[in-house]
Amino acid sequence: MIETRSMTLNMGPQHPATHGVLRLLLELDGEIIVKAVPHIGYLHRGIEKLAESMTYPQALTLTDRLDYTSGLSNNLAYCLAVEKLLDIAIPKRAQYLRVLMAELQRIAAHLLWVATHALDLGAMTVLFYAFRDRETILEMLELITGARLTPSFIRVGGLAADIPESFLPRVKEFVDDFPKRVDEYETLLTENIIWKKRTQNISPLSGEECISYGVTGSILRASGVYYDVRKAYPYSSYEDFDFEIPMGKNGDVYDRYVVRLKEMRQSNRIVRQVMERLPAGRVTADDAPQVTPPPKEEVGKDIAALIRHFKIMEQGFKTPRGEVYASIESSKGELGFYLISDGSNKPFRMKIRPPSFINLAALPKMIEGQMVADVIAAIGSIDIVLGEIDR
């Protein structure tokens, strides 16, 4: 009789295809995965704890460092939660610009995803194409926010500043061009026989399994469940725009790829609509002087404005006692902030609902019974960002 035994393989934390410091303990029977145990926390910075010691405007900077591929989306989710707590209304122009930035950020995040995911599976060309276009977006965002990675630009009560004049022409150029770029990625991958063999029927999840595991975002929709926060609980005027939610049906790696590519096209559609309908007006809330700092010109001339500016920067603002949950559809899934306020100027408790964390919990279910080589495809298809998982 042949003696057989299972082997334990340690994948990561330093592994190019784990997209950060994720460690997987794989128990193998030959090349088949019997059991997979993810180990996380290598990037834990205690963001939820730190937030309790910071004023509301200060804690905003922490959110940039969650999912660092989409800082503006994180800013947006946090600001929506604080604004819900304060119960203040945001002017339409600011809401539209927030949508514009969030959608550009989603395209950038999806481009990063398609680049690295394809690279993991051996298709290197896509990386150069996708990074070229991602660079265009980052440059545009840099033009408004001044930063590529950690913008902190969406502020409680509106935006940090209005957009410069040169911004919209550049967006227009990009928006007109982008559908052709997506076609280019599709010619490289969608009908590519190697790509299909590596992704079709790999690590499938059914709709029920996704729901049970709490999976949200593109993975859930690739399994045929219609749930998108932008449609379910429209925020920041998403109800004003016309867009579709792409759906898959098999819930495998290939369907997730198809859904995300279609999402980029839809995001592009939204950006175009925002650009065409952008209303004039202020970008900060009018009726909330305790929250929004005065314009820079006034600060230099008016002593009262100067005092107000320093008060907000130094002490922040107090929020009413209570608790709220606000969420957005980030590029990874439902990103939510659950805030509890005790009436002071610092959050009493800030719980982040990180989509990657919860989606990653379904990874063992996805890969058990599959081959080792498919683990990389599965991890790539979840689109994890460890900054968000470990917080």
List the structure tokens of 88.
Answer: 């203040």
User: Closest approach of Cβ 53 to other proteins, in Å?
Assistant: 5
Q: Which residues pair with 29 in a beta bridge?
A: 32
Q: Which stretch binds other proteins (CB under 8 A): 178-186, 264-272, 300-308, 332-340?
A: 332-340
DSSP β-ladder status, 158-159 and 154-155: antiparallel
Quick one: which of 76, 182, 324, 379 contacts other proteins (CB under 8 A)? 324
Does 310 engage in binding with other proteins (CB under 8 A)?
no
Beta pairing partners, 339:
324, 350
Q: How far is the CB of 161 from other proteins (least distance, A)?
A: 28
Q: Tell me the sheet residues that pair with 337.
A: 326, 352
365 makes contact with other proteins (CB under 8 A)? yes
Of 162, 286, 323, 368, which one interacts with other proteins (CB under 8 A)? 323
232 sits near other proteins (criterion: CB under 8 A): yes
Work out whether 235 is an interface residue with other proteins (CB under 8 A): no
3-state secondary structure 78-98: HHHHHHHHHCCCCCHHHHHHH
- Candidates 357, 370, 377, 382; binder of other proteins (CB under 8 A) is 357
> What does residue 206 show for φ and ψ, rounded to 5 degrees?
-80, 165
> Nearest approach, Cβ of 116 to other proteins (angstroms)?
24
Tell me the window of 1-9, 161-169, 308-316, 323-331 that interacts with other proteins (CB under 8 A).
323-331
Judge if the upstream peptide bond of residue 293 is cis by omega within 30 degrees of 0.
Answer: no
Q: How far is CA 29 from CA 8, 12, 325, 387, in A?
A: 9, 19, 44, 32
Contact criterion met (CB below 8 Å) for 305 and 312:
no
Q: Count, in order, helices (H) and strands (E) of the chain.
A: 17, 8
Query: Which residues between 37 and 96 bind other proteins (CB under 8 A)?
Result: 40-41, 44, 46, 48-50, 53, 84-85, 87
Both structure tokens of 234: 């429209």
Give the binding site for other proteins (CB under 8 A): 40-41, 44, 46, 48-50, 53, 84-85, 87, 209, 211-216, 225-227, 232-233, 322-325, 327, 334, 336, 338, 340, 349, 351, 353, 357-358, 361-362, 365, 390-391
